[in-house]
Amino acid sequence: MTAIVVPDGSEFGINNLPYGIFSVPGSEKAVGVRVGDAVVDLSKSLGDSVFAQPTLNAFMARGRAWWIEARARIVELIETDAVPADAMHPLDTVSLHLPFEVADYVDFYASEHHATNLGRLFRPDSEPLLPNWKHLPVGYHGRAGTIVVSGTDITRPRGQRKAPDRPTPDFGPSLRLDIEAEMGFVVGVPSETPIGTDDFENHVFGVCIVNDWSARDIQAWEYVPLGPNLGKSFATSISPWVVPLLALEEARIATPEQVPEPLPYLRESRSWALDIELTVEWNGHEVSRPPYRTMYWSPAQMLAHCTVNGASARTGDMFASGTISGPDKNQRGAFIELTWGGKEPVTLGDQTRTFLEDGDTVAISASAPGPSGTRIGFGTVTGRITPSP
Amino acid sequence: MTAIVVPDGSEFGINNLPYGIFSVPGSEKAVGVRVGDAVVDLSKSLGDSVFAQPTLNAFMARGRAWWIEARARIVELIETDAVPADAMHPLDTVSLHLPFEVADYVDFYASEHHATNLGRLFRPDSEPLLPNWKHLPVGYHGRAGTIVVSGTDITRPRGQRKAPDRPTPDFGPSLRLDIEAEMGFVVGVPSETPIGTDDFENHVFGVCIVNDWSARDIQAWEYVPLGPNLGKSFATSISPWVVPLLALEEARIATPEQVPEPLPYLRESRSWALDIELTVEWNGHEVSRPPYRTMYWSPAQMLAHCTVNGASARTGDMFASGTISGPDKNQRGAFIELTWGGKEPVTLGDQTRTFLEDGDTVAISASAPGPSGTRIGFGTVTGRITPSP
């Protein structure tokens, strides 16, 4: 049996307990929970085959009553110093893997500031916010098969891009490679019927950080009329830890006032808007602090919208918020906004940047309020750009 | 051992041999091949565990050399009357299931006639064909989790739709429920690198019929700027039989002339355009005969485009052509085009229709040229509309 010491001020204390998939040399993948700077192997400490799995999906599918029970048992293990010695690994000795098998991936567009900024940049001659935007959470399906775990190198995508002053497109590596700092919501319990906003917590297991890498030049040329495709589909990175919704009670807040009032299926009796603070670092320099609390649509509204037409939801479905941008310039979650389409470079130490260069690394971190003044950490999603082949 | 008699003129002769997943009462799902009006259980006749599976995925992943060998062994079984008696089932005694586990689903927009018609209907004040359309196969990701097999009832979706003369949307059952008659291409062999047009046949296993049900009122309100979402995501039906690419040699033709010449990565040394004839029946009345040969982009061009940015392809990825519409009115593969936005009703016996009514059934069939004047049948994808809950 082992006692786990959580460092003072850790964002991974007993109130957080995020789940992930880890392995150590010579062993299979298993479900682990992060406590301080340790990973507890649940396959060896809770004695349930649902944790001896290469993904969280089976655990996530079991449902909220079981999520609550597992969490209580983990807390008890830790508080009674009852974690078996062979189930405890220092964080820096494990490999972390994609935490769940992704079913469908939907990406929303729920920040009013981001949608307004992008509207101004992509469609300078029209109203930035389109007529539907305040009536429904606009979203589209992304590519599930190219979602990768934090730390995976991102190869610069190639594709068609058309310069504004040229009549035809050419082909080559993206010249405007960007990030989108987002949060992702992972469905645990499937449904064949619409998931109302008040049923959100019975279906959504947890939350991770998402970097929706975006090639703006490819996107700008391809996206009319059917939306983004190759400008996004090459890679989307997620953090290795999924913070359970159960850890986010203190982070719940109201959405900004929604005018006009949404249709009844989008109303919430108590909102699932969340007070998450993100930090974006570009080659180690902080360039932005996007505030999730400024998002117009809550994740419960997004899921209700996503299923109101009768579309089923599956275990492993992930829906992301879309870029999180606040009202201030240093709160923008995409470089196209931070640099205003590349016209206002940002300074990184003794260098400047507009879009990503080969070798650049981006790290997005996030945390939210927990009980008694603690913080609930989501960890970090990182990725480094490697050259086009 | 049993001799299988293929009826004269059957579209399911020895040159076709499409694969599907079937079951009989009391037995597990297995891989079957259709021969005439019989289904041969490959798990009981070829002695390979890859056929004792609930999906085609494991078989599809094995690759082209193995597809060729399996096909040769099936032909030999049939020609030597060597099918075990317990491996042969009359078609009308089996249940047919979704033939493969869908990974990612991409829907293209490859018919110039369809794109032009939809442009006129959705954007009457601008050029119908957008500037990118002749440079790249425009497409978007659809919802993989709501792909269902032929015969599954389709519940009328509900959602937001805004009447042109109203300032705000209302919510309710779609009033403009439509079909899209398409062909779908199924990836067998995965790839981490771009799949060039000449490598198409080494990755794509086969072809099925797709009905991409579309709620035009929901779609028209939601689709700007990120493309279709809830107007499509409620259901997409596919035929139960996947015709192997190996059966379609005689169907290969050239695409229509492509002007301007596509970028090098989209050129084909020998095109995979296909001479497939579709038939659309609405409540038993033929309303259209969409000609696949008129599609501007070939499926090999679509897959090359889909992966050129570095996006991986997985076993079970399906990409569909988009609605197939020829130049003539009776060749249009969607009712919004056939009825010109609902303004020109079609006659079905003693009734007329603009969009789908509850209880309506749509059946889309397809076939292509085979050797020696035979036809290669794809079978039929059917669906009946049931009311919104």
Mean pLDDT, rounded, of chain A: 97
The confidence score (pLDDT) of residue A122 equals: 84
- Identity at A311, one-letter amino acid code: A
Q: Which of B89, B97, B113, B114 is catalytic?
A: B114
Q: Are residues A122 and B225, on separate chains, in Cβ contact within 8 Å?
A: yes
- Residues A100-113: tens digit of each pLDDT: 999 999 999 999 99
The confidence score (pLDDT) of residue A114 equals: 96
Would you state the structure tokens that stand for residue A108, as one six-digit string? Answer: 């929303």
The distance of A268 to chain B (nearest Cα, Å) reads 17
Mutation pick from A226, A234, A307, A321 vs chain B, by most beta carbons of B within 10 Å, is A226
Which residue of chain B has the CA closest to A194? B158
CA distance B61 to B307: 18
In chain B, where does the domain assigned CATH 2.30.30.230 lie? 19-97
Would you state the structure tokens that stand for residue B40, as one six-digit string? Answer: 């041969």
Closest of A353, A246, A296, A239 to residue A114, by C-alpha: A296
Q: Is the separation of the CB atoms in A84 and A43 below 8 Å?
A: no
| CB contacts < 8 A (A, B) | 187
The distance of B115 to chain A (nearest Cα, Å) reads 10
Which residues face A171 on adjacent strands?
Answer: A160
In chain A, where does the domain assigned CATH 3.90.850.10 lie? 105-386
- The stretches of A162-207 forming alpha helices (DSSP H) are 200-203
Chain A hits for B230, CB-CB cut-off 8 Å, are 305-306, 308-309, 311
Q: Are residues A143 and B311, on separate chains, in Cβ contact within 8 Å?
A: yes
Q: Are residues A226 and B228, on separate chains, in Cβ contact within 8 Å?
A: yes
Contacts of A110 (CB under 8 A, 6+ apart): A137, A295, A296, A297, A302, A321, A322
Average pLDDT for A42-59: 97
Q: Is the separation of the CB atoms in A35 and A50 below 8 Å?
A: no
The confidence score (pLDDT) of residue B243 equals: 99
Which residue of chain B has the CA closest to A317? B145
- Residues A278-334: tens digit of each pLDDT: 999 999 999 999 999 999 999 999 999 999 999 999 999 999 999 999 999 999 999
Q: Is the separation of the CB atoms in B103 and A316 below 8 Å?
A: no
- In a 13 Å sphere around the CA of A145, the CA atoms on its Cβ side amount to 24
Phi, psi (rounded to 5 degrees) for B256: -55, 160
Phi, psi (rounded to 5 degrees) for A114: -65, -50
Chain B hits for A104, CB-CB cut-off 8 Å, are 143-145
The distance of B150 to chain A (nearest Cα, Å) reads 17
Q: Which of A155, A222, A314 sits opposite B138 (nearest CB)?
A: A222
The distance of B192 to chain A (nearest Cα, Å) reads 10
With residue B220 as reference, give the H or E element that holds it: helix B216-222
CA distance A259 to A101: 37
CA distance B67 to A349: 57
The distance of B83 to chain A (nearest Cα, Å) reads 38
CATH of A105-386, one of 3.30.70.370, 1.50.10.20, 3.90.850.10, 3.30.70.1090: 3.90.850.10
With residue B77 as reference, give the H or E element that holds it: helix B64-79
Q: Which of A235, A263, A311 sits opposite B146 (nearest CB)?
A: A311
CA distance B159 to B218: 6
Mean pLDDT of successive 10-residue segments in chain B (389 residues)?
89 98 97 98 96 98 98 97 96 98 98 95 90 97 98 98 93 98 98 98 98 97 95 98 98 98 98 98 98 98 98 98 97 98 96 98 98 97 97
Q: Which pLDDT band holds residue A164 (cuts at 50, 70, 90)?
A: confident
Average pLDDT for A152-161: 98
Q: Is the separation of the CB atoms in B265 and B304 below 8 Å?
A: yes
CA distance B320 to B85: 37
Q: Are residues B132 and A224, on separate chains, in Cβ contact within 8 Å?
A: yes
CA distance A121 to A123: 6
Q: How buried is residue A171: exposed, middle or buried, by Cβ count under 10 Å (0-12/13-18/19+)?
A: middle
Q: Could you tell me which residue, B3 or A84, shows the higher pLDDT?
A: A84
Q: Are residues B222 and A260, on separate chains, in Cβ contact within 8 Å?
A: no
CA distance B16 to B374: 10
Parallel/antiparallel/unpaired status of strands A204-211 and A181-187: antiparallel
pTM: 0.98
- In a 13 Å sphere around the CA of A201, the CA atoms on its Cβ side amount to 18
Which residue of chain A has the CA closest to B106? A143
Q: Are residues A310 and B158, on separate chains, in Cβ contact within 8 Å?
A: yes
Which residue of chain A has the CA closest to B314? A145
The confidence score (pLDDT) of residue A123 equals: 87
With residue A88 as reference, give the H or E element that holds it: strand A88-90
CA distance B354 to A54: 50
Q: Is the separation of the CB atoms in A119 and A129 below 8 Å?
A: yes
> What 3-state DSSP class applies to A23?
strand
The distance of B387 to chain A (nearest Cα, Å) reads 12
Parallel/antiparallel/unpaired status of strands B214-215 and B177-178: antiparallel
Mutation pick from B175, B180, B216, B226 vs chain A, by most beta carbons of A within 10 Å, is B226
Mutation pick from B118, B309, B318 vs chain A, by most beta carbons of A within 10 Å, is B309
Parallel/antiparallel/unpaired status of strands B38-41 and B285-288: unpaired
The confidence score (pLDDT) of residue B122 equals: 83
Residue with tokens 């999730």, as numbered in its chain: A292
CA distance B121 to B137: 20
Chain A hits for B124, CB-CB cut-off 8 Å, are none
- Residues A16-44: tens digit of each pLDDT: 999 999 999 999 999 999 999 999 999 99
Q: Are residues A222 and B109, on separate chains, in Cβ contact within 8 Å?
A: no
What's A19-97's CATH class? mainly beta
Which residue of chain A has the CA closest to B311? A234
The distance of B132 to chain A (nearest Cα, Å) reads 6
CA distance A291 to B158: 33
CA distance B98 to B124: 39
Chain B hits for A226, CB-CB cut-off 8 Å, are 109, 138-140, 223, 227-228
Chain A hits for B229, CB-CB cut-off 8 Å, are 106, 138-141
Chain B hits for A57, CB-CB cut-off 8 Å, are none
Contacts of B331 (CB under 8 A, 6+ apart): B113, B288, B289, B290, B291, B294, B325
Q: Which of B103, B135, B227 sits opposite A145 (nearest CB)?
A: B103
Contacts of A350 (CB under 8 A, 6+ apart): none
Chain A hits for B169, CB-CB cut-off 8 Å, are 132, 135-136, 263
Q: Which of B143, B227, B311 sits opposite A146 (nearest CB)?
A: B311
The distance of A282 to chain B (nearest Cα, Å) reads 23
Q: What secondary structure does DSSP assign to B246-261, as a single string?
A: GG-GGGEEPPSP-SSP
Q: Which pLDDT band holds residue A3 (cuts at 50, 70, 90)?
A: confident
Closest of B263, B251, B339 to residue B295, by C-alpha: B251
CA distance B275 to B14: 20
The confidence score (pLDDT) of residue B288 equals: 98
The confidence score (pLDDT) of residue B164 equals: 86
Closest of B140, B108, B222, B213 to residue A139, by C-alpha: B222
Which residue of chain A has the CA closest to B169? A135
CA distance A361 to A345: 17
Q: Which of A223, A311, A388 sits opposite B143 (nearest CB)?
A: A311
Would you state the structure tokens that stand for residue A171, as one six-digit string? Answer: 């082909």
Q: Are residues B140 and A136, on separate chains, in Cβ contact within 8 Å?
A: no
Would you state the structure tokens that stand for residue B326, as one six-digit string? Answer: 């020829």
Q: In what order do the strands lie in the sheet with B88-90?
A: B88-90, B38-41, B30-35, B19-23, B95-97
The confidence score (pLDDT) of residue A1 equals: 74
- Identity at A104, one-letter amino acid code: D
Inform me whether the pLDDT recorded for A239 exceeds 90. yes
Would you state the structure tokens that stand for residue A190, as one six-digit string? Answer: 């499937």
Q: Are residues A310 and B157, on separate chains, in Cβ contact within 8 Å?
A: yes
- Residues A363-379: tens digit of each pLDDT: 999 999 999 999 999 99
CA distance A130 to A122: 12
CA distance B119 to B95: 40
Q: Are residues A311 and B224, on separate chains, in Cβ contact within 8 Å?
A: no
Would you state the structure tokens that stand for residue B28, as one six-digit string? Answer: 């597990």
Percent of all residues in chain A with a pLDDT value above 70, rounded to a whole number: 100
Q: Is the separation of the CB atoms in B252 and B292 below 8 Å?
A: no
The predicted complex's ipTM stands at: 0.97
- The stretches of chain A forming alpha helices (DSSP H) are 42-45, 57-61, 64-79, 112-122, 200-203, 216-222, 299-307, 335-338
Q: Which residues of A are identified as catalytic?
A: 114
Q: Is the separation of the CB atoms in A325 and A337 below 8 Å?
A: yes
Chain B hits for A171, CB-CB cut-off 8 Å, are 263-265
With residue A30 as reference, give the H or E element that holds it: strand A30-35
DSSP A255: P
The confidence score (pLDDT) of residue B1 equals: 75
Q: Which of B218, B225, B310 sits opposite A130 (nearest CB)?
A: B225
Closest of B276, B188, B180, B291 to residue B236, by C-alpha: B180
CA distance B174 to B185: 29
